[in-house]
Amino acid sequence: MTPVLYVATKNDGKRREIEHLLAGTSYEVRSLPREYPDIPETGSTFHANALLKAQAAYTALGFPVIADDSGLVVPSLGGAPGVLSARYAGENATPAMLVQKLLAVMQDFGDAKRSAHFRTSLVLMLSSTMYASFDGIVYGRIITAPKGTNGFGYDPVFVPNGHTATFAEMTLETKNPMSHRGMAMRKLKSFLQHLTLSAATPSG
């Protein structure tokens, strides 16, 4: 029987990205049911929020769960949007509204104040008491106007260091090897493969 692994998100863009990153594993990846209630992200760190979501989803579903909390950190804004990245422009803000607010706040910033990084904290909940966590980070800068239609969130205004295209101008094949989520997911994928190999190896 193929083992099932739930992704604790109803964000289609995030789900597609995670499914792409987990391709080649022995797990059947499923999203949360649409009727699953949203989990309040009350933690003060990305890790705390990821753990909250993973624990709640595991309790409800009874299957191993991946949950992540990710966000954009702009040092010149004191670390904002940070853990409030998804709510930076209000509770029901669209991705376009988030980008518009960020650009408005940074409209008078010169290049020296446009450095930023994306950070991901990912938690794999294996049982009610056992979990593993993985982190990823990618550095770059915020540009002055959106470019590209791929990705989600702040991708249209984030250009990773060493590149000229935004994340939203890149395909998943280009973005994932360098992205914060890609980095964390590769660590998780290696962990899952180790688990699978350990389970398949007779002891003694």
HEC secondary structure over the chain: CCCEEEECCCCHHHHHHHHHHCCCCCCEEEECCCCCCCCCCCCCCHHHHHHHHHHHHHHHHCCCEEEEEEEEECHHHCCCEHHHHHHCCCCCCCHHHHHHHHHHHCCCCCHHHCEEEEEEEEEEECCCCCEEEEEEEEEEEECCCCCCCCCCCCHHHEEECCCCCCHHHCCHHHHCCCCHHHHHHHHHHHHHHHHHHHHHCCCC
Catalytic residue among 12, 38, 68, 69: 69
Q: Provide the token pair at 21.
A: 């990153």
Phi-psi region of 53 (alpha: psi -120 to 50; beta: other; left: phi over 0): alpha
Degrees (nearest 5) of the Cα angle 179, 162, 190? 30
Q: Is 69 a catalytic residue?
A: yes
Supply 12's token pair.
Answer: 């289609």
Active centre residues (catalytic):
69
